[in-house]
Structure 1
Amino acid sequence: MADAEPSYIDYEAFLDPSFSATAFANTLVLSTNNPSDTPLDLSTPLSRVLFDVQEIDTHIDALTTKSALPLLEYTKENAESSGRILQEVEGQVASLTESYKTLEKEVIERYEVAEQVRLTAERLCQTVKIGRAVARYLMLGRQLEVQMAELSSTGAGAAKREDHRAMVRSSNTLLSLRQILTVSRPGEEGEDLDRIHAITTLKNELVVPAERNILSRAQQVVKEFSMSSLLSSNPSSGQSSNAASTYAQTEDTKSRTTSALLTLYLLSPTSVDTTIENFQPNLLINVLQDYLQTALKSSLAALSRALATLPSLDRALLEISARCQNIVALETLLESIKPPVHSLLESLGPVNGKSSENAKSANFLRPLLQSLDTSSLPSYFWRSLASNLSPRVQEIMHRGGVSARTLRSNKDRVRDAVRECVNRGSKLPVGPLSRGKTVMAGNWEREAAVMVGSIIGAIGR
C-alpha cells in the first residue's frame, strides 16, 4: 500500500490484524455526534462508511485492471510449475510402488513363510520336550513299580522277606517324579505335563498310592523301634520277640530304622523356594515326636498302675527302663545319620564358611532336639514323665485305702527302685549301636532326683 496513490482513507487501520468493526463504527459515530444528543444522527456516519466502501471498491477495481496481466502470468507460471512437480512426484510414486511390490514379494512373503516354519519348529521342539518328559516320567514310574515289588518281598519260600533299602530307593524315585512336575519357571521340563492323561493316570494310580504305602511302612518301622534287651528274662511279656532277638536281628533293626528315617527325611514336603539351609523334615520330626509321646504315655500309665499295686512295680520300672534305653539307642542312631543328598533342594552356597561347618555337624538328631527344645532325649523323657506323674500319685494318695498306705510305708523302696530305673534306662543298650564305643554311665542324678521327687514329694503331702 506504500506505492498506492495518496488517499484520505487509512488503509493501514483496515489492514491491521487487530481491526474491530464495532470499535471503528463506535469511533465514527462519536466523532460525528455529541454523546448527550438524543436522538443520534446516524446518517452522517453511514454516508461516511458508504463513501469509504465505494472508494475502496473503486481502488480495488483499478488495481485489478492495472495488474491483470502480471497476475495471469504469475498464475500460469505456478500452474506449469505444479504440473512439472506432479509429473516428477508421480514418477517417484510409481518407482516406490514398484519397489514395494518387489520388497513384498522377496521379503514379506518369505517372512510369512519363515514365520510359519518357525512356529512349526517351535511346536515340534515343545512336542519333543513334552515327549521326553513323558517318557522319563513313565520310565521312573516303571522303576518305582519294580522298587515297590522289591520292597514287598525278596527271595522265595522261607527266605522271603522285605528289602527295607528299597524304601530309600523308592523315595529317591518319588523325588525325581516330583521334580519333573515341579515348575518354577516357564519353559521347564514339567510345564503342562499334568494336562496329559497318561501322566495323571500314572500319578493317581501308582505314584500317590506308592508314596502313601512307603510313608506308612517307614512310620510303622519307627514306631516298632526297639533295641533294649532288659525284658529278655521274661518271655511272657508281649515284647518277647524283641527281647529275645539276636545280634543279627538288632543289626537288622538298626538298618531298617535307618532306611525308614532316610525315607521320612526325603519325602518331607518342600516348596519351590526351599533350600538345604531352611529345609525342615517335618515328616521325620513328627514321627519321632509321636514315638516319644507313645513311650511317655505307656510309661505313665504303667507306672501309675504299679504305684497303686506295688507288687507289679518292679516289672513296670523294668519296662520303663527298656523304653528309655530304646530312646537312648534312637538318639545315638539319629546322631550317626547324616542328611542324604536331596534332589529337590538347592543350597544357597557357603557364607563365610558357615554352611560348610553346619554341613559337617548336621545329623538327624539336631532338628528333633530343636523342635523339643531340649539337649537330650533321655532327659526329655524323664522330665516329661515326672511332670505328668506327680498328679497321678496325688490322686492315689487322695483316694486313700490300702494302695495309699502301702505306698506310704514302702516309699524308701520306691525311691531306690525309681533311682535304679533311671540309671538303668539311661544306658545305651549293648548291641550294634554300642559296638566300638565305651558305654558311659553318664550323670543322671538330676533326672533321678526329679523322678523321685515327683513320687516321694506327692506321698509326703
Structure 2
Amino acid sequence: MSNDLEDFDSLLETNFDAKQFGNDLLKVTNNINTTTLDLNTSLKKLKYDLHEIDSRIDQLVNNKPSEIIDLMYRNENVNFTIVDELKPSLEYLNMSYDRLKTQVLDPYERARKVQLALSKVYQTSFLLRGALVYIHLSNKISTTSNVAQLNIPTAVNLASLHYQLQITLNENENLKSLQKVKLLDQNIITPNKRELVTFLSLQVSKECLNSIKIKTNKETISQLVRSLFLLSPQEFVATINKIILSNVTTSSQILSRTINSIRGFSETFKEVVEKSYNIYILETILRNIKIDNTTTAAKPTATNKSHLGHLLSEYTLMGNTKSGSGTPRDLFWNKVASSFRKDFEISVNRGGPVGKSLLKNKDFIIDTIRQHMGKSCDNSDYQSYLNLMLNSVSIIAK
C-alpha cells in the first residue's frame, strides 16, 4: 500500500506547508520571463492529482477490502485496549491529584497569601516602630539642645542620642523615605550633628594640646573622643591628626632653632620628648576605649563576627596617616625626624661656624637623644623612634 502513495510523499510529510507547496507549484508551471501569471495549469495539475488520489483510494478499497477492514478493527481494538487498561490508572491519578490539591496545594496557596499579608503587616509595624523611635530621639535631641547650654556633659549625652538614632536608621533604612523623617533630619538632626561634631573636635583639641589637661583629664578626654568617633569616624581621625601635626609643627620649629645654638639642644629636645609623652598618653587613652563590631568603622569579617577592638586600632585601620604603621607616635616621630634631618643636613653641608659647631658637638647631640628618648613613654617600645632621631643626625657620625 505504501507504493501506491510514492507519488504523493511530499504531501504526507509532517512539516508539509500548503503555502510553500502552492508557491513552488506556481513557479514550476510559470515562466519567470513573462509578466502574466498562469493559474490554470497549476489548478489542472492539482485537480489531476486529486482525481488520481481518489482513483487510487477506490482501487485500494476494491482490491483489498478485507485488509482495510481488518486494519480498522485492529486499530479500534488497540484503542479500546489502551483505554481499558489506562482508565483505572488515569482515574486513580485524577483522584490522587484531587486529594493533593485539596489537602496540600489549596492550603499552601492560602497559607502563602496569609504569609504575604502578615509580612506586609510586619513591615508596616516595623516601619512605624522605627519612626516612633526616630521621632522620640529627635525630640530628645531638640529638647536637650534648646534647654541646656552646650558643654561637655551635654555634648556627650547628645552624641549618645545621635548614635542611637543612627542605629535605628541602620536597622530600618526605609525610614529615610518617610517625609516626617526627612523633615526632622533636615531641620533638627543634621544641623545639630554638624554643630556637635565641631564642638567635640574643638574640645578634644583643647584638652589634648594642653600638657596639664591631657595628664589630669583622661576620663574627660576619653568621653569626648568616644563621642566624636560615634558621631563621625572621619572627623575623629582628622582631629587626632590635627593634634599630632600641631605638636609636630611646634617641635620641628624649636628643634630647627637650636641648630644655630646647639648648647640649648638638651632642653629643647627634652621639650620635644615631653610632647611625645603627651601623644603616648593619648595613645593609651585610645587603647583603653573598647568598642565592639556595632561601633567600629571597619566592617567585621565573616570569620570574626565577635570583633572587639579599641579606638587606637580603629585609628590605625582607617589609615589616614601617610607614614609608618599609622599610630599617633609613628606619625609624630616620622614627621619630626624628617623635618629635623633636612634642616640639620643643610646646616652641616653649608659649613661655617654653625656647621663646625654641629660637628664639634656630635657626641653631645647623640648622647642627648639617647638620654632623653627613654622618657617619651612608660615602656621600652621607643627604640624605633630613637633610631629615627639618630638617623636624622647621622651625617655628623660619618
Category of TM-score, reference length = shorter chain: 0.5 to 0.7
> How big is the shift at 1:211?
0.9
8 Å contact 2:207–2:221 — kept in the other structure?
A: yes
Select 2:223's aligned residue among 256, 259, 268. Answer: 259
> How big is the shift at 1:303?
0.9
For residues 366-398 of structure 1, give each alpha carbon's deviation from its aligned partner in whole angstroms, at most 9, with x where no partner exists: 133343552864355334422332211122224
1:39 maps to which residue? none
TM-score (norm 1): 0.51
> How big is the shift at 1:299?
1.6
Can you give the 5+ residue segments of structure 2 that lack an aligned partner in the other structure? 1-40, 49-119
Check if 1:139 corresponds to 2:136: yes
Residues 60-71 of structure 1 mapped to structure 2, 5 A cutoff: none
> How big is the shift at 1:181?
5.4
Q: Counterpart of 1:374 in 2: which secondary structure?
A: coil
8 Å contact 1:331–1:377 — kept in the other structure?
A: yes
8 Å contact 1:266–1:342 — kept in the other structure?
A: no
> How big is the shift at 1:339?
1.0
Check if 1:389 corresponds to 2:389: no
Check if 1:451 corresponds to 2:382: no
Letter of the structure 2 residue corresponding to residue 262 of structure 1: R
Residues 361-376 of structure 1 mapped to structure 2, 5 A cutoff: 362-370=309-317, 371=319, 374=325
8 Å contact 2:208–2:221 — kept in the other structure?
A: no
Letter of the structure 2 residue corresponding to residue 175 of structure 1: Y
1:407 maps to which residue? 358
2:286 maps to which residue? 334
Check if 1:325 corresponds to 2:274: no
C-alpha distance in 2 between matches for 1:321 and 1:24: 114
Letter of the structure 1 residue corresponding to residue 195 of structure 2: N
C-alpha distance in 1 between matches for 2:352 and 2:191: 55
Compared CA separation, residues 143 and 405, structure 1 to 2 (3 A): same
Letter of the structure 1 residue corresponding to residue 159 of structure 2: S
8 Å contact 2:130–2:172 — kept in the other structure?
A: no
C-alpha distance in 2 between matches for 1:208 and 1:287: 20
C-alpha distance in 2 between matches for 1:340 and 1:418: 40
Select 2:373's aligned residue among 415, 419, 422. Answer: 422
Compared CA separation, residues 386 and 422, structure 1 to 2 (3 A): same
Greater relative CO, 1 or 2 (CA 8 Å, sep 6+)? 1
2:177 maps to which residue? 192
Aligned residues: 283
8 Å contact 1:151–1:163 — kept in the other structure?
A: no
> How big is the shift at 1:348?
7.4
Compared CA separation, residues 401 and 255, structure 1 to 2 (3 A): same
1:53 maps to which residue? none
Select 1:22's aligned residue among 31, 40, 44. Answer: 44
8 Å contact 1:337–1:364 — kept in the other structure?
A: yes
C-alpha distance in 2 between matches for 1:298 and 1:380: 14
Residues 289-328 of structure 1 mapped to structure 2, 5 A cutoff: 289-328=241-280
Letter of the structure 2 residue corresponding to residue 458 of structure 1: I
1:163 maps to which residue? 152
Compared CA separation, residues 307 and 25, structure 1 to 2 (3 A): closer
> How big is the shift at 1:256?
2.0
2:236 maps to which residue? 284
Compared CA separation, residues 133 and 317, structure 1 to 2 (3 A): same
8 Å contact 1:265–1:284 — kept in the other structure?
A: yes
Can you give the 5+ residue segments of structure 1 that lack an aligned partner in the other structure? 1-18, 27-121, 154-161, 228-238, 269-280, 429-439
Q: Counterpart of 1:391 in 2: which secondary structure?
A: helix
> How big is the shift at 1:25?
11
> Which structure carries more helix by proportion?
2
> How big is the shift at 1:336?
1.0
Letter of the structure 2 residue corresponding to residue 355 of structure 1: K
C-alpha distance in 1 between matches for 2:381 and 2:171: 52
Select 1:174's aligned residue among 142, 162, 174. Answer: 162
Q: Counterpart of 1:339 in 2: which secondary structure?
A: strand
Letter of the structure 2 residue corresponding to residue 192 of structure 1: S
Please give the root-mean-square deviation of Cα atoms over the aligned residues, in Å. Answer: 4.1
Compared CA separation, residues 344 and 143, structure 1 to 2 (3 A): farther
Q: Counterpart of 1:152 in 2: which secondary structure?
A: coil
Q: Counterpart of 2:200 in 1: which secondary structure?
A: helix
Letter of the structure 2 residue corresponding to residue 406 of structure 1: S
C-alpha distance in 1 between matches for 2:337 and 2:372: 13
